[in-house]
Amino acid sequence: MAIVRMDNVGIVVDDLDLAVEFFTVLGMELEGRQLIEGEWAGRVVGLSGMRSEIAMMRIPGAPGKLELATYHAPELLGRGAQAIPHTLGFHRVMFAVDDLDDTIARLGPLGGELLGEVVDYRGLVRLCYFRGPGGIVIGLAEDAA
């Protein structure tokens, strides 16, 4: 028995419209949005009375998707929390980009900020961690070759 594929990574956000805009500026495409609710949905995630909205994002011409979700019920937990990389349960999604400096400049006006600094790793890759809307953390990497 083996894993067949990884379908998506899910991130809970407080402002779905802003998160969709952020990942669109990064270079992803919105595949679709929909409301998720009902008894079946609550049973899947273990939240009675769950009502959420998701936006499925994809990278053009590449596998894998990013599911952005916001919860209308029950109320979101941890609003405003700014987890740092050594926090248990910390998560981030890493993206390879063709121009790291341009990507950082385009995401900045949407509230993005570097967690540390852009680092050159052994002349192979330039990378950084970047915080976006609602505290989302993404890794950005550019091949140095």
- pLDDT tens-digit readout, 88-114: 667 889 999 999 999 999 999 998 899
- pLDDT tens-digit readout, 65-94: 999 999 999 888 775 556 777 776 678 899
What tokens appear for 133 in the block?
């809307």
Q: Which domains does the chain have, with CATH numbers?
A: 8-73 (3.10.180.10), 93-143 (3.10.180.10)
Coil/strand/helix, residue 37: strand
Identify the bridge partners of residue 139 per DSSP, sorted by sequence position: 94, 129
